[in-house]
Amino acid sequence: MERPRAARNRTLALGLAALISLPLLTSGPAQAKGNFPSPEGNTSTASILTYADTVKELERIEETSRYGVDVFTLAEAGTGVDTSEQGRDLYVATVGDGPKDVWVQGRIHGNEPYGAEAILSLLKDLGTNGSPEYEEIRDAFTIHFIPMYNPDGSELNIRQTVLWDTAANAPRKGANGQDLIVDLNRDWVADKFQARESLAFYEYWTMVDPEYGIDIHHQGLKQQYGTGDDVTLSLGISLAPGGPTLPTLKGGAYDVLTRQMHGYVYEELKGTGFITMDRYQVGNSLEIDIKGGVVSAMMLGLNHQNLNPEGHSNPVVFFETSGNTSDGSLGQKARGKSIQQNILAMRTLLGGLASGEVQQTDPEVWEDIPHAPVTGYSTDYAGTIPVTP
């Protein structure tokens, strides 16, 4: 999987936006010392990883790894569109030499930072740790880590990305004169693909044809149904199990397998003191059934521009850490634990899939994960669909 180094192209013309947002991203208090390790070395005192930090850390991990971490850009991988809207290189790191590919993405929403940090930390561990647990994962899988899917939005500390006029080096404007912004997690839709990031990563997905996927997000603060305890981690599936869509895919295989994936994580981590889990729901009692999310499009086997003529698809689950950086709800004290719970959740899931324990899990464990009684499905194609009693 070595990519030619000569093709590596550092894009320096990053646009004004990155410069404006820089103080926000690099200032802030030094991290409080906690019981849990920060992701890595020189990044531990910055409040949030910048794009430059991420690239530097990826290269450091590649250089120091013992088990073949390969860091490359989508330009090196050879996708047709291969940068962000503002021209930043899009990075992937692979580790493991197993026959099955796994896709792990973080920070598709730029103001949801810990996916990147958790991925870098797990990548480093998989690249250096010789223990049987990590060896089993490396032997089973080739993992494609995307620590920062949305580098422009990350630099701006916003959820979306801004569509960019490269010639003018300025935001593209809509009919109303406003900047055109796109939620990259609603853009893998046949008649959309408005952003370069979407086309680039979609094409890469068609090159990889992964077996499984994991997606890391942040959510607002919430309480666990029944106990009122503060939730730290919500377990989500973007096409609701038992809902209008998932049971129709692959003869119901993904409806079972995604519940097994989260059921296994829940069973393994529910005794972990600093983690309080529930199921991801919106509007208190709605499951989501959205088709435009990247991970939904993967499960649906989207064939855009005939890049996926064989209709490849794969099951994907997502993790939501409570708190984000835009509304100030993400306290510094929670940082280490928030990152650590994502590392643990990913490591647990990858290990369980590699050993086959996930596939042996009772899918009905999904019902044991705390959640409000489901009253309907929040969709991006038919409004809210009520659950029929």
Write out the residues near Zn ion by the rule CB under 5 A.
Answer: 109, 112, 217
Dihedral angle, C-alpha 206, 209, 210, 216, nearest 10 °? 10
Q: Please, which residue, 232 or 361, has the CB nearer to Zn ion? A: 232
Q: Please, which residue, 254 or 319, has the CB nearer to Zn ion? A: 319
Q: Please, which residue, 112 or 125, has the CB nearer to Zn ion? A: 112
Q: Provide, rounded to whole angstroms, the least separation between the CB of residue 217 and Zn ion.
A: 3
Q: Provide, rounded to whole angstroms, the least separation between the CB of residue 236 and Zn ion.
A: 10
Q: Please, which residue, 124 or 262, has the CB nearer to Zn ion? A: 262
Q: Provide, rounded to whole angstroms, the least separation between the CB of residue 91 and Zn ion.
A: 19
Q: Residue 339 and residue 305: Cα distance in Å, rounded?
A: 37
Dihedral angle, C-alpha 202, 282, 261, 321, nearest 10 °? 80
User: Other C-beta atoms within 10 Å of 63: how many?
Assistant: 9
3-state class of 322 per DSSP? strand
Cα 26 to Cα 40, 47, 155, 160: the distances in Å are 16, 7, 10, 20
Q: Please, which residue, 55 or 295, has the CB nearer to Zn ion? A: 295
- State which residue has the least CB distance to Zn ion: 217
HEC string for 272-321: CCCCCEEECCECCCEEEECCCCHHHHHHHCCCCCCCCCCCCCCCEEEEEE
Sign of torsion, CA 33 105 262 124? negative
Q: Provide, rounded to whole angstroms, the least separation between the CB of residue 30 and Zn ion.
A: 27
DSSP string, 49-73: --HHHHHHHHHHHHHH-SS--EEEE
90 CB-near residues (< 8 Å, 6+ apart): 73, 74, 82, 83, 84, 146, 149, 151, 197, 200, 201
Question: Strand pairing of 70-73 and 91-95?
Answer: antiparallel
Q: Provide, rounded to whole angstroms, the least separation between the CB of residue 362 and Zn ion.
A: 29
Q: Residue 85 and residue 165: Cα distance in Å, rounded?
A: 8
Give the closest residue to 10 by CA, choosing from 57, 73, 59: 73
Q: Please, which residue, 65 or 321, has the CB nearer to Zn ion? A: 321
Give the closest residue to 126 by CA, choosing from 366, 363, 357, 351: 351
Q: Residue 232 and residue 116: Cα distance in Å, rounded?
A: 17
Q: Residue 128 and residue 135: Cα distance in Å, rounded?
A: 10
Q: Please, which residue, 109 or 347, has the CB nearer to Zn ion? A: 109
Q: Provide, rounded to whole angstroms, the least separation between the CB of residue 314 and Zn ion.
A: 20
The partner residues of 278 in beta bridges, in order of sequence, read: 234
Q: Please, which residue, 112 or 278, has the CB nearer to Zn ion? A: 112
Dihedral angle, C-alpha 84, 208, 344, 218, nearest 10 °? 30
Q: Residue 246 and residue 377: Cα distance in Å, rounded?
A: 12
Q: Provide, rounded to whole angstroms, the least separation between the CB of residue 279 and Zn ion.
A: 16
Q: Provide, rounded to whole angstroms, the least separation between the CB of residue 293 and Zn ion.
A: 9
Q: Provide, rounded to whole angstroms, the least separation between the CB of residue 250 and Zn ion.
A: 25
Q: Provide, rounded to whole angstroms, the least separation between the CB of residue 105 and Zn ion.
A: 11
Q: Please, which residue, 321 or 361, has the CB nearer to Zn ion? A: 321
Q: Please, which residue, 256 or 288, has the CB nearer to Zn ion? A: 288
